[in-house]
Structure 1
Amino acid sequence: MNEKIVIRKTGKQLLEQMDTTEVPQDGIAIWQLGQESLVIKKSGFIIYFDPYLSASPARSFAPPIQPEEIYNADYVIITHHHSDHLDPLTLKDLAIRSPQAMFICPAPHMERVVDAGIGRERIIPAQAGIKFELASGITVTPVACKHEQYITDADGNHFFLGYVIDFNGLVFYHAGDAIADQELEDALKPHQIEIACMPINGHDWRRLRNHIYGNMTFREAADMAAEIGAEMIIPMHYDMFASNTENPAYFVDYLLRYYPMLKFKMLAPGERMLYLTER
């Protein structure tokens, strides 16, 4: 038989799956779209993180969804201004197809989001350490991070942010692009994070010389998740570009050697995960 078996959904089928997935009160649904693009569904809301869905010959695989197909976004959260995180083409089409969506981005990058065609009334400028509410019982705390270094604008607003989202006790963290350090650990530890999504592609002088800014290594990501007391770690930023990647098998091996009780999940593009809280 030459019939091809397709396990993961794409396009309209994937969007329909998001719509019809029933999330238990003590759970959360997560979809991976590649790089650091994630979708989460919780408390009746669908949130897109760093949607990078433009066609590009540099991509290792085609986008699981086309931007103009996305009608179901309630919130779109941007971690920083690099084009594989703040993708103007994706944001423009998504904003048209999902007119209800609100956009959250670091305050210094608000104009970039406006330039992508999103009205200012739809943008929430985020500032490190200043918590805000999305809906009843859902709070967001932006956390400053170092993408090779901490960078701020003239008003002291950080360029690079991760986001801690508290869904009525289930605490989810998307790190964005970040290097592990004591300042980040100190900022995260009080939140009692349950699910931590972290980059593992690392950093080195060769990539920095070519203006490819670094992130946590697989060791640093695992160490950070353990230090902040996370129940589960989801690795990101290892699957998209051949020039800026890491073998995730090293990450798994390190976890099994040093943190065998720390749960993890590697998601393929288009894959859904349903998680029930352990707390």
Structure 2
Amino acid sequence: MTDGSGAVGLTWIGQAGYAIEAPGGALCLLDPYLSEFALEELGLPRVAPIPLDPAATRADVVAITHTHHDHLDLTTCRALAGANPAVTFVGPSSIVARLLGRGIAPERIVTVERGESVTVGAFTFHGHYARHEVAGWLTEDALAYVVEVAGTRILHSGDTEYDQRCLAVAERGPFDVGIFVANGSGGNMHALEAALMATQLAPAVAIPCHYGMWAPEAYGSGHAPDGKPTLDPQLFAEACAKLDGPAVRVLELGERIDVLPAGVTIAA
């Protein structure tokens, strides 16, 4: 629900997924993983509860960064399409055939590639480079996004390793919020790399993501150079502080913050 302040609502819905609500109430779901799709396809049961029922959730646009199961959740997408006859799906061209295969009409899918921008209703999506190279699961068109809505800019790193090419997204700044993957395995940055990227891109507030969905061993053996496991978001927060980087918010599942062009405040 909008709070009447003109703020953009940002809610963590698990893993790398967020609900972005415009002041007028329009809703974007970014990488919503709201099912057991990874269990059905890969044998990975979620331990995090499902915060939204996709069959009963109103959504105007669903934005996808890449085709991995916890980002392009086809069970969730089909349920959202059924509950929202006008919902639009946005993402790289690799999502198209997969959505068509689940019965989603082509006119409801809008592609965006690296270096491209599309506007759907209240939301403008700028596609940028992400390097997500996983053996056997290559996602050559994986995206980072800058989402512009109501005068705010929200950066989502997408699933990515640390790469200087990712820093070119700075041209879209300054950012009111930056969301950074920090789990340290499966082709993703560890917490120290994510903190370095956050410091270099300098959002007003940085948020770590991509942890807590599965049991820790299901994420692989990713560790920071000091040997600490990187699934602890506090490691990201500590590293940002040591680097004199941005302020950090570690969100609880289902927690919402309100984003204003001048920064972030906690919802009342």
Superposed pair shares fold, TM > 0.5: yes
- Change over 3 Å in CA distance of 1:274–1:43 after alignment to 2: closer
Given the superposition, is the C-alpha separation of residues 47 and 58 from structure 1 closer, same or farther in structure 2, using an over 3 Å criterion?
A: same
CA distance in 1 between counterparts of 2:27 and 2:60 reads 5
Alignment correspondent of 2:115: 129
Q: Aligned residues, how many?
A: 242
> Following TM superposition, by how much is the alpha carbon of 1:222 offset from its aligned partner in structure 2, in angstroms?
1.4
Match in the other structure for 1:63: 50
Q: CA deviation at 1:197?
A: 0.8
Q: What corresponds to 1:200 in structure 2?
A: 182
CA distance in 1, matches of 2:120, 2:257: 23
Residue 143 of structure 2 is aligned with which of 158, 161, 164? 161
Structure 1 position 40 matched with structure 2 position 11: no
Deviation, structure 1 residue 147: 0.6
State the distance in 1 between where 2:3 and 2:132 align. 36
Structure 1: how far apart are the matches of 2:29 and 2:150?
Answer: 19
Name which of 120, 132, 145 aligns with 1:147.
132
Note the aligned Cα RMSD (angstroms). 2.2
**Preserved CA contact (<8 Å) 2:195 2:237:** no
User: Letter of the aligned partner of 2:177 in structure 1?
Assistant: I
Any idea what the Cα deviations from partners look like across 1:62-118, whole Å, max 9, x if unmatched?
Answer: 211222121x10000011000011111111111100112100011122111111221
- Aligned positions of 1:253-272 closer than 5 A: 253-259=238-244, 262-272=246-256
- The structure having more radius of gyration, on CA atoms, is 1
Contact 1:141–1:165, Cα closer than 8 Å, also in 2: yes
Does the 8 Å CA contact 1:109/1:159 hold for their aligned counterparts?
no
Partner of 1:207 in structure 2? none
Aligned to 2:60: 74
Letter in 1 for 2:131: K
Q: Helix, strand or coil: the match of 2:147?
A: strand
1:158 deviates by 4.8
Structure 1 gap segments, 5+ residues each: 1-19, 204-212
TM-score (norm 2): 0.83
Offset of residue 194 of structure 1: 2.0
Report what 2:5 is aligned to.
24
Deviating 4+ runs (over 4 angstroms): none
**Which string of whole-angstrom CA distances, capped at 9 and with x for unpartnered residues, describes residues 177-206 of structure 1?**
111211110233443222111110013xxx
* Counterpart residue number, 1:210: none
Q: TM-score, normalised by structure 1?
A: 0.80
The residue type equivalent to 2:260 in the other structure is L
Q: Give aligned-pair identity as a percent.
A: 30
Match of residue 109 from structure 1: 95
Question: Within 2, Cα distance between the matches of 1:23 and 1:277?
Answer: 15
What are structure 2's unaligned runs of at least 5 residues?
A: 220-229, 264-268
Q: Which residue of 2 aligns with 1:251?
A: 236
